[in-house]
Amino acid sequence: MTAPMVYGPAYSTYVRTVFMTLQEKGTAYKHIDVDIMKGENRTPDYLRRQPFGKVPAFEHDGFAIYETGAIVRYIDEAFSGPALQPADAKIRARMNQAISVIDNYAYGAIIGHIVMQRLIAPLLGASPDETVISEGLPLAEQALTALQDLLGTRTRLAGDELTLADLYLVPVYEYFAMTPEGTATLPKFPAIREWWRSLETRDSVVSTRPKVG
Ligand SMILES: N[C@@H](CCC(=O)N[C@@H](CS)C(=O)NCC(=O)O)C(=O)O
C-alpha cells in the first residue's frame, strides 16, 4: 500500500479536515500543495482530478476521488485506527446532519461571507466588503445555533466520541475565532466554546493549524 495523497493548500478548511482525519487514523500521507490563491486549482491537470476546481482531491493506491465527504468516509473505512463514524444508526445520522449543516450553511456564512472578506481579501490587497460581512452574520448565528442544538450538553457533535463532524467544524470555527465578528459572536454560544476547549490542544488540531498572514 502506498501513502495516500492529499491535493490542496494547507490553509483550506476542507483540506485541513482531510489532514485531521488521516492523523486521527494514524495514517501517514503525502501533501501535494495546490495553491488556490495562485489559481493552481484551475490548471487542466488539476481539473482532471477535480472538475469543479475545488480542493481537496485525494488519491490512494491508484484510486482517485474528490469531495471531502466521500474522501473522509473512505479514509475512515479503508484504514485502521479509531472509527470516526458512529456504529449506531441514529448517532451516525446526527453526524451526517451536522456535516450537512456545516457544508450547506455554516461554511458559506462563516467562510464565504466573513472570513473571506475579513482575513483573505486583505491578503490579496483588497478591502473587506462590509455589506457581505453583515449579510453573513445572521446566517452564521443561525448555523451556530443549529450546531449548538446538536451539541446539547455534550462536547462532541454526534454521540460522545470524536467523529468526522467535529473534524469538519474545527477549521471553520478556528478561522471564525480569528475575526472580530467571531470574537463578538462566539461568547453567545457557550456550548460551542466548551466543544472547542475540549479540542484545541488535540494533536491533529494543533499540527494542522494554518498560519495566516
Ligand atoms: N464540495 C467541496 C467543497 C470544497 C471547497 O469549497 N473548497 C474550497 C476551499 S476551502 C475551494 O476549493 N475554493 C476554491 C474555489 O472555489 O475556487 C468538498 O466538499 O470538497
Which residue among 59, 78, 97 closes a domain? Answer: 78
In this predicted model, what pLDDT tens digit does every residue of 93-122 receive, in sequence order?
A: 999 999 999 999 999 999 999 999 999 999
Here the CATH number for the domain that contains residue 173 is 1.20.1050.10
Q: What domain range is 170 assigned to? A: 89-202
Indicate if the pLDDT at residue 59 is higher than 70. yes
Q: Which ligand 1 atom minimizes the distance to the CA of 12?
A: 10
Indicate if the pLDDT at residue 1 is higher than 90. no
- If asked whether residues 193 and 138 sit together in one domain, one would say yes
**15-41 average pLDDT score:** 98
In a domain, 120, yes or no: yes
Expressed in angstroms, the distance from the first to the final Cα of the chain is: 37
10 Å CB burial of residue 63 (0-12, 13-18, 19+) is: exposed
The pLDDT, as a whole number, for residue 14 is: 98
Domain count of the fold of the chain: 2
- If asked whether residues 56 and 145 sit together in one domain, one would say no
- If asked whether residues 117 and 54 sit together in one domain, one would say no
Q: CA 38, CA 46: separation in Å to the nearest integer?
A: 13
- If asked whether residues 94 and 68 sit together in one domain, one would say no
Q: CA 65, CA 85: separation in Å to the nearest integer?
A: 19
Indicate if the pLDDT at residue 172 is higher than 90. yes
- If asked whether residues 14 and 65 sit together in one domain, one would say yes
Helical (H) or strand (E) element with 71: helix 68-78
Contacts 24+ apart (CB under 8 A), 94-98: 94/150, 94/157, 94/158, 94/159, 94/165, 95/157, 95/158, 95/159, 95/163, 95/164, 95/165, 96/165, 97/150, 98/147, 98/150, 98/157, 98/158, 98/165, 98/168, 98/169
The pLDDT, as a whole number, for residue 205 is: 98
- If asked whether residues 100 and 73 sit together in one domain, one would say no
- Contact assessment for residue 56 and residue 69, using Cβ atoms and an 8 Å cutoff: no
The pLDDT, as a whole number, for residue 213 is: 59
The pLDDT, as a whole number, for residue 211 is: 83
Q: Is 67 in the pocket of ligand 1 (CB under 6 A)?
A: yes
The pTM score is 0.98
In a domain, 207, yes or no: no
Which residue among 29, 46, 78 closes a domain? Answer: 78
**30-44 average pLDDT score:** 97
Q: Which ligand 1 atom minimizes the distance to the CA of 54?
A: 12
Mutate to test the pocket of ligand 1, among 16, 19, 54 (most ligand atoms within 8 A of CB): 54
Helical (H) or strand (E) element with 8: none
Residue of the CA atom closest to atom 15 of ligand 1:
54
Of 26, 147, 161, 24, nearest in space to 86 by CA? 161
**81-90 average pLDDT score:** 98
In a domain, 212, yes or no: no
**151-156 average pLDDT score:** 96
Percentage of residues in the chain having pLDDT higher than 70: 100
Residue the block writes with cell 473571506: 116
In this predicted model, what pLDDT tens digit does every residue of 178-213 receive, in sequence order?
A: 999 999 999 999 999 999 999 999 999 999 999 875
Q: Is 53 in the pocket of ligand 1 (CB under 6 A)?
A: yes
- If asked whether residues 150 and 181 sit together in one domain, one would say yes
- If asked whether residues 100 and 164 sit together in one domain, one would say yes
